Structure 1
Amino acid sequence: MAEAVSPFRQPPSLDLSDDNLAESFRTWRRQMDFYMRASGASEKPKKTQTAIILHCAGPQVQEVFEHFVFDENDDKEDPIKVLGKLHEFCSPQTSEVIETHRFWNVSYRAPFDAFLTDLRTRAKLCNFGAMRDRMIRDKIVFSVTGKVQELLLRERQLDLQKAVDICRVFELTAKQTKEMSEASAHVDKVTKDKDNLPNESNTDSQRKRGGG
């Protein structure tokens, strides 16, 4: 009797050409762990677990797997050892200089929280240590423009949390102001269109004078 298909959605294939492969692997590995536990695959024999992992990882990983060198021949059927080799492949040693360069070149994008998440993710790779919050704060101040930047520069004791709060409030206020402005413009248009409609009493008088 054929085994029932798992009702749990499999993780997507791992794209080894991704520009940020280390981060993509961490995300994929987390999804893979959840899938293995939820589907009950983690209770299966090691050989079967490895086959499931390679199947989910996709053809690119299956290709590089053939070139992995293991200490023992049986290690190629051990899911922990296979994932360890894949981690090494996807997480080459990074340069703090390069990662810091990438951090400072992140462009601002709305919504603000998406920009903030990007900065925090990249800051982890820069080894800023105790300076991490200050670096993120400075990057925010340098990246935003106009009125919100002016508000940030006015603060004498500007820490990261205060900078985040100011940017979030400014973004929300700008959104609400835009909504109110658009609603007001719509009301004005409706009123103007209504005022331009022919007056019914005047129309009747014109008809009578015309003998209509």
Structure 2
Amino acid sequence: MSGGISPLSLAGNVAEHWRTWRGRFENYLIASEFLKEDKSVQCAQLLHYMGEDGFKIYSTFKLETDDRNKLKPLMQKFQEHFEGKENTNYERYKLFSTKQGEAQSTEQFITDLQKQAAKCKLDTLQDSLVVTMIACGIKNNNVRERLLQEDNLPLDKAIELCRIIETSKVRSEVMSGVTNGATLQNEEVLSVYKALFSS
């Protein structure tokens, strides 16, 4: 669909697809300036871009007549349909149980924490709790120690600190490898010289 967004995918992890699609749609409303239009026009845009399957789901909703032309209650209905009723305690449990996976990058781990925290209704505590959960769940002990040394570290600074420490570790390992390689080459050169002069 030229100038708009693709329909919502109802295959696979529908709840995750819905969260991503909703964010894209809300961004589209701002970019296209449809937020300035009448509420009924905004609702029509929502139903149009959701696609045929989304419209079929909409037809099953029981909405007050006035709510059918209001974007917020309509979005809430789709939210409940795709994700079920909110269970804040469960979402917080998932956040506080999150650990970095063996094959998971630090960037992806932090992104997953932020996405999960957004579901937890933490208000002003959200960023500081994400920093706490980075320290609790990250695999790199050096990063954990540094984060625990800092008090009231803003989330953006904590993320930057993770990047710096992990980048420094990688560079150190590369330099160590180069040094070891150079030492090996020097030893090989010396053995050649010894062989030449002893013959």
What 5-or-longer segments of structure 1 have no aligned partner?
Answer: 203-212
In structure 2, the CA distance between the partners of 1:33 and 1:183, relative to structure 1 (3 Å rule), is: farther
Instruction: Say whether 1:97 aligns with 2:97.
Output: no
Aligned residue in 1 for 2:58? 65
Following the alignment from structure 1 to structure 2, what is the Cα–Cα distance between the partners of residues 120 and 66? 34
Larger Rg: 1
Kept in 2, the 8 Å contact 1:13–1:58? The answer is yes
Give, in angstroms, the shift of residue 104 of structure 1: 1.6
SS of match in other structure, 1:160: coil
Which residue of 161, 167, 182 maps to 1:172? Answer: 167
Kept in 2, the 8 Å contact 1:137–1:159? The answer is no
Give, in angstroms, the shift of residue 134 of structure 1: 4.1
Following the alignment from structure 1 to structure 2, what is the Cα–Cα distance between the partners of residues 151 and 142? 12
Letter in 1 for 2:24: W
Q: Where does 1:18-167 land on structure 2 (aligned, <5 Å)? A: 18-20=14-16, 23-34=19-30, 36-37=32-33, 50=44, 53-72=46-65, 78=69, 81=70, 84-91=73-80, 92-108=84-100, 111-145=105-139, 146-153=141-148, 155=149, 157-161=150-154, 163-167=158-162
Deviations 1:56-111 (A, max 9, x none): 212320220222334449x76x5xx3674243221454112111111123232654
What is the Cα-based RMSD across aligned positions, in Å? 4.1
Kept in 2, the 8 Å contact 1:54–1:61? The answer is yes
Letter in 2 for 1:169: I
Kept in 1, the 8 Å contact 2:106–2:138? The answer is no
Letter in 2 for 1:27: G
Q: Where does 1:9-24 land on structure 2 (aligned, <5 Å)? A: 10-16=4-10, 17-20=13-16, 23-24=19-20
What 5-or-longer segments of structure 2 have no aligned partner?
Answer: none
Following the alignment from structure 1 to structure 2, what is the Cα–Cα distance between the partners of residues 71 and 152? 50
Kept in 1, the 8 Å contact 2:147–2:158? The answer is yes
In structure 2, the CA distance between the partners of 1:93 and 1:25, relative to structure 1 (3 Å rule), is: farther
Matched pairs, number: 179
Following the alignment from structure 1 to structure 2, what is the Cα–Cα distance between the partners of residues 83 and 129? 20
Give, in angstroms, the shift of residue 186 of structure 1: 6.9
SS of match in other structure, 2:77: helix
